[in-house]
Structure 1
């Protein structure tokens, strides 16, 4: 059974070493320490309770962990020996650096307390007066023997007159001699004080006065009101040692300390993380317990360790399903910001290199390889989903050889500035001067699909020395003669494009095709949504699921439940211990990144606010202008459709809630919203074009006046007939 964290007995390894060399233990041929005998020889040595909060000292037991190797501080050198001369004093350069740091801290403390010394003196004087009153009252109670009052009262209540008289006589005698002591002390102070004040030199009197005032102030001040505050506050955190780890696992129901086959074992020595932010150890659960059991008990383990759940990280060990690595952070690693994006340097990037994304829980840099991948980002609203997607888009924008398509179904301001560099962009669902955003989305996806199919055709015809294995290379992508630049498509709030009626069927079909096929042709997708469960029904809902599930890299910020977390991170993520619903609401821009590497870190993304985004995009536009790669809408090209879908356009201008519209209304709305195609349209001309598809011209009442127009149901029926044909 493992020793309790409150035991004061420690294993005496010196005694064990002596036993090792003692031929009387285990016979003359014994080469192994008899631990049962050696364990009985213990040397008491007090140590702090395992529950105290202190500066991190790893605080590891020398006693071997049950069933595993000893868990202790890792050696500071390969030989396991500490340096004879501390590193801070090894060499004149280190000595100077140590002195410089020490003097800097001392100077800071002197300045801090020097500035506050008048306030310290004022407080000390006030509390010294209170201390005199308290000291006098304390002496009075001592003289009056107040500690015996309860005994006398008890005797009186019990009617025990003899005991009361006995106690009364004792208290009278005690008061007599205590009163004598106090009287002599008072007389000595009255006559001796002025004498000392007159004869003592000032250099002796001043420290005595300071000490007296300080002592009286200490007596007078409340316990929670220190006079002198700390200039430097040392970081404090929960102490972690093997006893506490065992306590936590047993309390979580992952084993039993008194059953040999149900004991938790250590598979490695405990070690400080190289980043200096926590400690880790390999844990072997009892046979029959699995990694899934540990992940489900993560909250209970955190409770047993007496730390926040966000400080406990459990990682699967591929060698055994009952083994895992436990990493405990000194403090909440996710509550600290990762800082601003390194892209603010506005230097050209290379899409063929991983994009900087943020820092993991241990402070290591995390990057995402965009090439050949599709990235899915999901979260509740206002958790940093758009910021995370935009971070990757900014990296792609700074590579002047990447052709950008930015489609935001939400229409938020976050993406508007990408019009500076995007070949195609659409924001929201409301009609704009650029056209119907839904139509722009369809056109952009059609063009990308045609480009992807054309690329595969042309790549297959290139010689092997230029295009090995028929795959796009960096040289081909950056050579203008091949016309195959890397393309990056960013969709925010993409669920909106699956809930637009008939047009959503084509959008869904195109997206499913592209997310499956396009990455291998150098067309990457980064897609963000707050509704990963899907929208609509029927075929569109099925295609939504297919689109969502065909992303290789997944990033989930905080979600509402583990089910939603699994939808974003992929099936089985929760059983592996990854659940974004456990992230706190205060963690903005923090999420679990799965599929980007062998590890699945919890990442704090870099920050790029609106001003940072604008600065980076202005620089990105200049890079594209210098490289001659600015194209599409960013270059002012006209991307209007050569042939308009009249039925779809007319249906789009009939507002929701309207059963129909008059021909004059339809003509005016088309001219206002799509002037590039319908600037000169009249009520008669649009009526003729629509009636050619079999749509009836019927009376539509407006403001009490009935004029000819079209019903929305008739237009929908005509669209359905055309598709069926």
Structure 2
């Protein structure tokens, strides 16, 4: 969630609105990738000798590296029931992974389920650098690291549950190593995001969702944003309006300890106390009216200084 401080686009969850936002993000990435390739094709070989980014091109033509990461990859594919739509998403991700590096795109895909359904073969085969934590058998290890890797010695099934943060890392057709990752606690990660935001603001690279994050913007001014406001905005991130029942479900899913016992009356009371002025208690979604909230009304309760 703290990536909202720096991410140009941040998609959380696997609900319908999140999946639509994810697909839109893919199209945005592809458009930017093609824009960059169009520029690279026009540059003389003296500036772009291999048709790829150089430090000079990055600075001169404003093409910063783009880190595209998808955690819990299987959730995306499971959530898309239409086979044609799923194939289109897989094709888009494969295209970014295959062609993107030359234009400064770095793809990072992670999944807890290494089977072909969770990580389709078309996508898996493009990924050349792979890392695997402890798995139960060599078959599972090969699913992640590549067919036949276990017999070559790259076998994550030999790791035990005590190997916290240790992975078998494959970096090429015949190269691998067993490495231990650095550990960032949640607090340290949040601090890193805040530092990253400050650095991006200093050089004018704060864009997209991060630039428009009203909650973080208020907190930067030293203003306190009620937790109920920031949490509701988080779960409504990809929807301009939402039924109360869906809002309650998502809040409980995000933090069951806090919101598990909430009902419509308590939610309304808490939001009213936090300063939310509802323009209407009814919202229309796909032509159907129901009790709900407009995101703009909740954003209106975020304190700010003029």
Superposition TM-score tier, normalisation by shorter sequence: 0.5 to 0.7
Q: For the Cα contact (< 8 Å) 1:442–1:506, is it kept in 2?
A: no
1-structure distance, mates of 2:110, 2:290: 32
Structure 2 partner of 1:513: 95
Are residues 1:627 and 2:203 paired?
Answer: yes
Q: For the Cα contact (< 8 Å) 1:555–1:594, is it kept in 2?
A: yes
2-structure distance, mates of 1:547, 1:587: 28
Q: CA deviation at 1:615?
A: 1.1
In the TM superposition, what whole-angstrom CA distance separates every residue of 1:158-195 from its partner, at most 9, and x where no partner exists? xxxxxxxxxxxxxxxxxxxxxxxxxxxxxxxxxxxxxx
Structure 1 partner of 2:170: 594
Structure 2 partner of 1:421: 6
Distance 1:672 1:596, change over 3 A: farther
Q: CA deviation at 1:504?
A: 2.5
2-structure distance, mates of 1:532, 1:566: 9
Structure 2 partner of 1:605: 181
Moved more, 499-508 or 579-588: 499-508
SS across alignment from 1:468:
coil
Are residues 1:559 and 2:143 paired?
Answer: no
Q: For the Cα contact (< 8 Å) 1:495–1:529, is it kept in 2?
A: yes
State which of 71, 74, 81 in structure 2 corresponds to 1:501.
81
SS across alignment from 1:595:
strand
1-structure distance, mates of 2:173, 2:182: 19
Q: For the Cα contact (< 8 Å) 1:492–1:527, is it kept in 2?
A: yes
In the TM superposition, what whole-angstrom CA distance separates every residue of 1:507-555 from its partner, at most 9, and x where no partner exists? 222112111111121101111101121338xxxx8xx211122111111
Q: For the Cα contact (< 8 Å) 1:533–1:567, is it kept in 2?
A: yes
**What is the TM-score with the length of structure 1 in the denominator?**
0.30
Structure 2 partner of 1:27: none
2-structure distance, mates of 1:598, 1:427: 36
User: How many residues are matched?
Assistant: 228
Q: CA deviation at 1:505?
A: 3.1
Q: CA deviation at 1:424?
A: 0.3
1-structure distance, mates of 2:289, 2:139: 44
1-structure distance, mates of 2:95, 2:81: 19
Distance 1:582 1:534, change over 3 A: same
Q: For the Cα contact (< 8 Å) 1:631–1:637, is it kept in 2?
A: no
Q: CA deviation at 1:621?
A: 0.7
Distance 1:615 1:675, change over 3 A: closer
Q: For the Cα contact (< 8 Å) 1:497–1:507, is it kept in 2?
A: no
1-structure distance, mates of 2:141, 2:160: 14
Q: For the Cα contact (< 8 Å) 2:4–2:210, is it kept in 1?
A: yes
2-structure distance, mates of 1:527, 1:521: 18
Larger radius of gyration: 1
1-structure distance, mates of 2:176, 2:73: 25
Moved more, 502-511 or 586-595: 502-511
SS across alignment from 2:167:
strand
Structure 1 partner of 2:194: 618
Q: For the Cα contact (< 8 Å) 2:4–2:213, is it kept in 1?
A: no
Q: For the Cα contact (< 8 Å) 1:495–1:534, is it kept in 2?
A: no
Aligned 1:113-262 pairs, distance under 5 A? none
Q: CA deviation at 1:596?
A: 6.3
Aligned 1:456-475 pairs, distance under 5 A? 456-475=37-56
Are residues 1:531 and 2:113 paired?
Answer: yes
**What is the TM-score with the length of structure 2 in the denominator?**
0.68
Structure 1 partner of 2:124: 548
1-structure distance, mates of 2:145, 2:287: 48
Q: For the Cα contact (< 8 Å) 2:5–2:213, is it kept in 1?
A: no
What is the Cα-based RMSD across aligned positions, in Å? 2.8
State which of 53, 59, 62 in structure 2 corresponds to 1:478.
59
Q: CA deviation at 1:430?
A: 3.5
Distance 1:664 1:604, change over 3 A: closer
Distance 1:674 1:602, change over 3 A: farther
Distance 1:669 1:476, change over 3 A: farther
Distance 1:453 1:669, change over 3 A: farther
Q: CA deviation at 1:437?
A: 1.1
Q: For the Cα contact (< 8 Å) 1:491–1:527, is it kept in 2?
A: yes
Q: Which runs of no fewer than 5 residues in structure 1 stay unpaired?
A: 1-415, 639-648, 656-662, 677-725
Structure 1 runs (4+) deviating above 6 angstroms are none
